[in-house]
Amino acid sequence: MKSKLLVLFFFLPFAILSAQPKVFTIQADKPVAQISSSMWGIFFEDINQGADGGLYAELVKNRSFEFDNPTMGWKITSSTFQLGINFGSEITVINQKEKEATNPRFLRVSMNNTPKGKLGIANEGFHGMGIKKDLRYDFSMLYRQQTVNSIIHIEIVSEKGAIIGSKTFKPNQMGDGWFKLETSLIATATDQKASLNIWFEGSGQLDLDMISLFPSDTWKGRKGGLRADMVQMLADMKPGFIRFPGGCIVEGRDLATRYQWKKTIGPVDERKLMINRWNTEIKDRPAPDYYQSFGLGFYEYFQMAEDIGAEPLPILSCGIACQFNTGELASLDNLDPYLQDALDLIEFANSAADTKWGKIRAALGHPAPFNLKMIGVGNENWGAQYIDRLQIFQAAIAKKYPTIKLVCSSGFMASGDVFNYLNGELRKMKISYIDEHYYSSPKWFLDNAKRYDSYDRASSSKVFVGEYAAQSVATTDMNNKNNWRTAIAEAAFLTGLERNAAIVQMASYAPLFAHVEGWQWKPDLIWVNNLKSMGTPNYYVQKLYSTNRGSYTVSMLNNKQQPAAGEDSLYASSVIDKISNELIIKIVNTVGKNQIAEINISGVKKIAESATLTVLQNNNLEAENSMNAANELVPIDLTIKTKANTISIELKPYSLNVIRVKL
């Protein structure tokens, strides 16, 4: 970093002398538009192993044997059985769905003077288990037995087969009910792809369920919680909102597989597991072991939103299944369960602890309301059937909760018949936020930096850019990359969102997380393996915008008295942060050569003599960050001098520059 700094200052005077500066004028005393406090946010969906095997820190896959194949993820060792002779030692799966609808299956271990190492189960985790040396791991399981005559040995085993953590214990309660056994062990080594062995010794019959292993270093140290490194990446963005739980996952392939929030709260063993729609959705990346355990459920989403200071933005089904799949419709006279889910969710989030759903929230540990202000109805739904259903939702929600704002979809593209129809209808309905999605080429992003300049400023409907990402090859192409070409195009485009903050009031990149081995969709904002997380160049672009949000925009014009939206390959916008009394300027140089910008600031007595300049830059548009070289593209902070209300800077080739100067 130091050497980069020296290079910049060495070349600066020469460059300034040799190139014609591009002149900009900022009118710092003329606010143009307030910037919504939730302008830059996060889109979360359980895609790419985002929740199970990702954010949700559980290390055991298929912990309750509820996958379609009940032993998927497990290896059963029963050496006596393998020889074809059963000495009364065996492991079987029992289904009692008539008694236990939400968690019907369990494992029955039958022992008969069984020695250690002959009868056991092993879990492979989610592409292995990430284990850290010296960290405590919390093991738990539900068990049931009629006699106390067995010993259990648990072992964490490294990829190479070494035991890197072990514990032996005796389940000592008996009776007809389930007992919870909890113990912990310390890992003696770090391994990215460990597994868990459980050996059974002794005699008798032992029923097992909900076999679980969690690291103790979860976010805020919560037991059974979230991966701290991943939540930290989100918190570092200081996001204005978090939209959850998707995405297409909200809608379901059919109505039965839609996301139903009420089934995701309460004791984890009572949350009914379901196949993840991304299990089969992308033909080239099948993920047969991708399920939703809902260990990360709606209560945890609200809690995380609160933790990271983001407005919660839940999205619910409107009674239409994913229109890329079945498009199954709930008939209009049968919409009540869908509507009730929305009304109850608002009560769950906002009502006092003596209401039905407020009481449930309080019992879960949060007596104070979550202060929900907006709710999404439908994701990427379209057609008249969507509008018909929305009208019913709109009327019912407005009647009971008049201050709650609705977020509604304008389809899966930002133009064309589907978009035009919905955009028109939603504006007629005065829907608060219209959710636009675009997964387009980097060129599209550059060409559309002026997209919102011509939007109707009088309309009461505002724009929520709910999903966007520049695609280096094409939408859903397996070869898409999170390269600098895509990120710098997004950086340029975002100047247009910022400049039009009166119209665009929320924006989020999508998808958010991807596991290096468990992904279905590229590009993604943050990549993870079992041990660490990595920000893409796109992540740093988002972060630079959200951590430099400002309070209101001010006009910034080039020498043609135009907003900088492509002239000389430059894109720029500027805002003022009322609290720190700073002018924040963002300039993106999208060409592969240095350019000099001379920025004159009018309307203030004097700007500070020095300013901070944060630069995200690379000469190579194909550059990417990777797990082994995560710092190829990261922002670098510098200090620059100002002169008589003018800032002159050298914009490096292909660079996003953020300047903060005190007024």
Residues contacting ligand AHR: total by CB under 6 A: 12
Residue 314 contacts ligand AHR per CB under 6 A: no
Q: 186-225: which residues touch ligand AHR (CB under 6 A)?
A: none
Contact mark string toward ligand AHR, 583..622, x via CB under 6 A: ----------------------------------------
Contact mark string toward ligand AHR, 461..490, x via CB under 6 A: ------x-----------------------
Q: Which of 380, 467, 498, 650 is flagged as catalytic?
A: 380
Under 8 Å between Cβ of 284 and 291:
no
The CA distance from 492 to 586, in Å, is 9
Query: Whose CB is nearest to ligand AHR?
Result: 247
Q: Is the peptide bond before 563 cis (omega within 30 degrees of 0)?
A: no
Under 8 Å between Cβ of 466 and 510:
yes
Q: Which is nearer to ligand AHR, 40 or 521 (CB)?
A: 521
Choices 102-110, 197-205, 244-252, 347-355; region in contact with ligand AHR by CB under 6 A: 244-252
CB of 45 to ligand AHR, least distance (A): 5
First to last CA, the chain: 28
Q: Is 126 exposed, middle or buried (0-12, 13-18, 19+ CB in 10 A)?
A: buried
Q: 20-79: which residues touch ligand AHR (CB under 6 A)?
A: 45, 47
Residue 382 contacts ligand AHR per CB under 6 A: no
Residue 379 contacts ligand AHR per CB under 6 A: yes
* Three-point CA angle 57, 468, 232, nearest 5°: 30
From candidates 248, 446, 565, 640, binder to ligand AHR by CB under 6 A: 248
Q: Which is nearer to ligand AHR, 246 or 563 (CB)?
A: 246
User: Which residue type occupies 310?
Assistant: A
The CA distance from 452 to 502, in Å, is 10
Q: Which is nearer to ligand AHR, 467 or 577 (CB)?
A: 467
Q: Which is nearer to ligand AHR, 154 or 525 (CB)?
A: 525
Q: Is the peptide bond before 245 cis (omega within 30 degrees of 0)?
A: yes
Q: Which is nearer to ligand AHR, 445 or 654 (CB)?
A: 445
Residue with tokens 């260990």: 295
Residue 582 contacts ligand AHR per CB under 6 A: no
CB of 476 to ligand AHR, least distance (A): 8
* Three-point CA angle 172, 175, 179, nearest 5°: 60
Whether 436 is a known active-site residue: answer no
Q: Which is nearer to ligand AHR, 201 or 380 (CB)?
A: 380
Q: Which is nearer to ligand AHR, 436 or 467 (CB)?
A: 467
Residue 259 contacts ligand AHR per CB under 6 A: no
Task: Give the count of alpha carbons within 13 A of 349, CB side only.
Answer: 25
Residue 524 contacts ligand AHR per CB under 6 A: no
Choices 178-186, 199-207, 243-251, 262-270; region in contact with ligand AHR by CB under 6 A: 243-251
The CA distance from 210 to 266, in Å, is 15
Under 8 Å between Cβ of 213 and 137:
yes
Q: What is the DSSP letter of 279?
A: G
The CA distance from 261 to 351, in Å, is 17
Q: Which is nearer to ligand AHR, 260 or 520 (CB)?
A: 520
Choices 160-168, 182-190, 245-253, 393-401; region in contact with ligand AHR by CB under 6 A: 245-253
Using the CB atoms, write b or e for 383-413: b if 16+ within 10 Å. Answer: eebbbebbebbbebbeeebeebbbbbbbbbb
504-507 sheet: strands from edge to edge: 42-43, 241-244, 311-316, 374-377, 405-409, 433-440, 462-470, 504-507
Q: What is the DSSP letter of 117?
A: T
CB of 409 to ligand AHR, least distance (A): 9
Q: Which is nearer to ligand AHR, 91 or 434 (CB)?
A: 434
Strand, helix or coil for residue 207: strand
Choices 117-125, 240-248, 334-342, 637-645; region in contact with ligand AHR by CB under 6 A: 240-248
Quick one: tokens of 332?
């209009």
Residue with tokens 């906002």: 350
CB of 211 to ligand AHR, least distance (A): 31
Residue 412 contacts ligand AHR per CB under 6 A: yes
Quick one: tokens of 232?
């930290």
Under 8 Å between Cβ of 654 and 492:
no
From candidates 302, 521, 545, 654, binder to ligand AHR by CB under 6 A: 521
CB of 91 to ligand AHR, least distance (A): 38
Residue 322 contacts ligand AHR per CB under 6 A: no
Q: How far is CA 261 from CA 96, 297, 381, in A?
A: 25, 7, 19
User: Which residue type occupies 233?
Assistant: M
Under 8 Å between Cβ of 227 and 167:
no
Residue 261 contacts ligand AHR per CB under 6 A: no
Residue 247 contacts ligand AHR per CB under 6 A: yes
Choices 246-254, 304-312, 489-497, 629-637; region in contact with ligand AHR by CB under 6 A: 246-254
CA–centroid distance for 325 within its chain: 23
CB of 381 to ligand AHR, least distance (A): 10
Q: Which is nearer to ligand AHR, 176 or 284 (CB)?
A: 284
From candidates 8, 152, 374, 510, binder to ligand AHR by CB under 6 A: 510
Q: Which is nearer to ligand AHR, 248 or 564 (CB)?
A: 248
Choices 83-91, 178-186, 242-250, 574-582; region in contact with ligand AHR by CB under 6 A: 242-250
Q: Is 566 exposed, middle or buried (0-12, 13-18, 19+ CB in 10 A)?
A: middle
The CA distance from 346 to 406, in Å, is 12
Q: How far is CA 415 from CA 175, 439, 461, in A?
A: 64, 12, 17
The CA distance from 552 to 535, in Å, is 28
CB of 390 to ligand AHR, least distance (A): 17
Quick one: tokens of 482?
């999170």
From candidates 58, 380, 425, 577, binder to ligand AHR by CB under 6 A: 380
CB of 376 to ligand AHR, least distance (A): 11
CB of 37 to ligand AHR, least distance (A): 25
Residues annotated catalytic, as ranges: 380
Which residues are at the interface with ligand AHR (CB under 6 A)?
Answer: 45, 47, 246-248, 379-380, 412, 467, 510-511, 521
